[in-house]
Amino acid sequence: MKLLQSIFKIQLLSLSLLCIQSCSGDESSSVIIDEEEATPITNYDISPILSKFNSIGMSYEINGNTVIFNTNDLPDHKSPYYLDTEWENELFEPYNGTNPQFNLNPNRIEEQNITFTIPLFPKEASNHRATNLGPMGIARNGVVFFNQYAAGNSPLTNEINSFDQYLGHPAGMGNYHYHIEPAYLTEQFGDNAFLGLLADGFPVYGPIENGSEVTNNDLDDYHGHAGVTADFPNGIYHYHITTQDPYINGNGYFGTPGNISQ
């Protein structure tokens, strides 16, 4: 009887080890199990998506374990906010979006000089930092992402009516930005496409995943989750655009943000 109990315990132990290796995620997951400590390890490398940043007004270079972006923050699409600027003849377009309450704010697009130093191998932070007002990430066309708040950390309820047909607008210093879905990019590349990076190095994707719309209920407190994407077949933590507040990011960065200067 004792011999049978011993054999049964060995079988249970074998099954537990097998589940640790194969049941903790699908075959394409980025989570690896350390056989000695049995703890998950993430090995993320954002190099595969850097070539998608190809806007004329933006450049990047890899420096050790970081990638450094420099952008003039000029949108490569037309906007009513190019009115009365040096680019008016080429890029001005009257508002032709779908918001009947659109109201052109008094700011105009101005060239910027913004530098992001972003981790090339991002990982989850031990202490999750809140995003600040101002740039918190960079879209693949060089335009910056802002968080879900207007000036004074107030909701976007009123400010959203100043978003142009591509759902961006300029701040008081002329820096154009997206708080919500960058419609120009999702129209050009698809609703499920890679759209940019936040300052912690983790990618931002569109509002569709696996053919379905992503909602806040599908995401964690930081407005993201880990999983396979077209650019990362082994999986990566990534943020999603949604139609609900906080739109791009939630209660802080998932990873540790790099430096942003302007």
**Look-up: residue for tokens 């139609």?**
243
The domain segmentation of the chain, as residue ranges, is 2-42, 47-261
Query: Per-residue pLDDT for 101 more than 50?
Result: yes
Check if the beta carbon of residue 132 is closer than 8 Å to that of residue 75: no
Q: Model confidence at 43, in pLDDT bands (50, 70, 90)?
A: confident
Higher pLDDT: 27 or 147? It is 147
Q: Are strands 114-119 and 259-261 parallel, antiparallel or unpaired?
A: antiparallel
What was the pLDDT predicted at 87? 97
Q: pTM for the full model? A: 0.84
pLDDT in tens, 183-232: 999 999 999 999 999 999 999 999 999 999 999 999 999 999 999 999 99
% of the chain residues with pLDDT over 90: 81
Segment 47-62 mean pLDDT: 95
- Quick one: which of 146, 184, 176 has its CA closest to 72? 176
Token pair recorded at residue 199: 């300052």
What was the pLDDT predicted at 153? 86
pLDDT in tens, 226-261: 999 999 999 999 999 999 999 999 999 999 999 999
